[in-house]
Amino acid sequence: MSLPSFQLLRPKTLDEAVRLMAKHDGEVKIVAGGTDLLPSMKQKLFTPPYVLDLRGVGELRGIRNVPGNGVEIGALTTLSTIEHSAIIRKDYPVLYEAVKTVAYQYCATWERWAAMCAWTRAACGTTSRCCGARVADFA
């Protein structure tokens, strides 16, 4: 299945993203990783004329102390970043342990998948794409 036609919008700032969302209100879907939206679009469950890609909005990444209010974790902050954060490890041990568990399960799944691809690649005698991605992407 192929994706329906749409215009990809790639804001660089949070303000620009908010303006684009307001401008295309009701006609835009937001994507950050694409693992939920893109398969749905392929199945034609969603056919938005605009897709707003937030991956370029740096303001949505990172971990910041907010004096008097705790910590702020940006919406695009990766599990790996949270897991390796000294702030989280020191001040939020329950969150740290939870993220470690989730990140480990996620990485273990990708490691098994990459191992399967490596085996398939060896069996096929190919160095090109395997299982839809390059094994090097997961090494």
Q: Residues 51, 27: one domain?
A: yes
Q: What is the pLDDT of residue 79?
A: 84
What domain range includes position 48? 7-58
b/e map 14-25, b = 16+ CB within 10 Å? eeebeebeeebe
Q: What is the CATH number of the domain that holds 46?
A: 3.30.43.10
Q: Residues 67, 37: one domain?
A: no
Mean pLDDT for the stretch of residues 124-129: 45
User: Are residues 114 and 138 in contact, defined by beta-carbon separation less than 8 angstroms?
Assistant: yes
Q: What is the pLDDT of residue 105?
A: 56
Please tell me the pTM assigned to this model. 0.64
In a domain, 2, yes or no: no
Q: What is the pLDDT of residue 78?
A: 85
In a domain, 1, yes or no: no
Q: What is the pLDDT of residue 34?
A: 66
pLDDT for 92-107, tens place per residue? 999 898 888 876 555 5
